[in-house]
């Protein structure tokens, strides 16, 4: 059973050769040069101890020395933009970082809980959660091997 939270229509696929073909969207190559420049800048920043820069939020990374990883090349498309992620479902890549080797975990969860507005009014709510982790070694944007633990929240 496919995770019902993620519709298959989102998946980037090539019609002729089956599902989930790892290809970029229409403007991918137009953007490639600038993206390389960005990565180059980030790699330079990492060398200067500024590796926390590329991340949101920076709080956990600050001082951790974690070098930014690269995204998986494929993913889903939304309004013409490629997002480097697949839903947790059979037969697709679970990791979100590229050039990675290590342990992974993922789950698509659902449940219930209580929300409270700023005025104190509470309401019963449902939730869906896509939670993952990746722990191991990866080639960072600096082209060097690193070890780290990542959470997908």
Partner 1 sequence: MYTGSVELFGETQIHDFNPGISETEVFWTMPIPDRNLQVSLLQATARMQLEHVDVQDDLTLADSLRNYINGITSDPAVVSFDVQWNMPKKGERIRNEELGYDGFFFTSEEPESVHIAWSGINQATGFTFTSDPAETSFNVFAVLGFERNGVIFKLDAPKPE
- Scanning residues 41 to 100, which ones bind partner 1 (CB under 8 A)? 42, 53-57, 59-61, 64, 66, 68-75, 78-79, 81, 83-85, 88-100
Exactly one of 22, 30, 49, 142 binds partner 1 (CB under 8 A); which one?
22
Work out whether the CA dihedral 55, 56, 62, 66 comes out positive or negative.
negative
| Interaction of residue 25 with partner 1, rule CB under 8 A | no
Q: In angstroms, what is the minimal distance from the CB of 102 to partner 1?
A: 7
In 3D space, the residue among 136, 133, 111, 115 whose CA is nearest the CA of residue 124 turns out to be 115
Q: How many residues form the binding site for partner 1 (CB under 8 A)? A: 91
Q: In angstroms, what is the minimal distance from the CB of 137 to partner 1?
A: 8
Other residues' Cβ atoms within 10 Å of the Cβ of residue 23: 13
| Interaction of residue 129 with partner 1, rule CB under 8 A | yes
Q: In angstroms, what is the minimal distance from the CB of 32 to partner 1?
A: 12
Q: In angstroms, what is the minimal distance from the CB of 124 to partner 1?
A: 9
Give the whole-angstrom CA distance, residue 15 versus residue 48.
45
Helix ranges restricted to H, 3-112: 28-47
| Interaction of residue 33 with partner 1, rule CB under 8 A | no
Token pair of 85, please? 């992620």
Token pair of 31, please? 């953007």
Exactly one of 15, 33, 34, 114 binds partner 1 (CB under 8 A); which one?
114
Q: In angstroms, what is the minimal distance from the CB of 57 to partner 1?
A: 4
Q: Do the Cβ atoms of 49 and 55 come closer than 8 Å?
A: no
Number of H helices, E strands in the chain: 1, 5
């Amino acid at each position: 059973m496919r995770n019902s939270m993620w519709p298959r229509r989102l998946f980037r696929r090539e019609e002729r050769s089956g599902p989930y073909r790892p290809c970029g969207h229409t403007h991918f190559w137009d953007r490639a040069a600038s993206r390389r420049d960005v990565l180059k800048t980030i790699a330079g920043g990492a060398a200067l101890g500024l590796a926390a820069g590329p991340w949101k939020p920076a709080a956990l990374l600050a001082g951790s020395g974690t070098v930014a990883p690269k995204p998986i090349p494929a993913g889903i498309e939304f309004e013409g933009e490629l997002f480097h992620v697949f839903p947790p479902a059979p037969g697709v890549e679970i990791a979100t970082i590229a050039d990675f080797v290590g342990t992974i975990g993922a789950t698509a969860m659902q449940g219930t809980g209580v929300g409270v507005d700023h005025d104190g009014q509470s309401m019963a709510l449902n939730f869906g959660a896509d939670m993952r982790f990746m722990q191991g070694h990866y080639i960072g944007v600096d082209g060097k091997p690193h070890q780290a633990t990542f959470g997908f929240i």
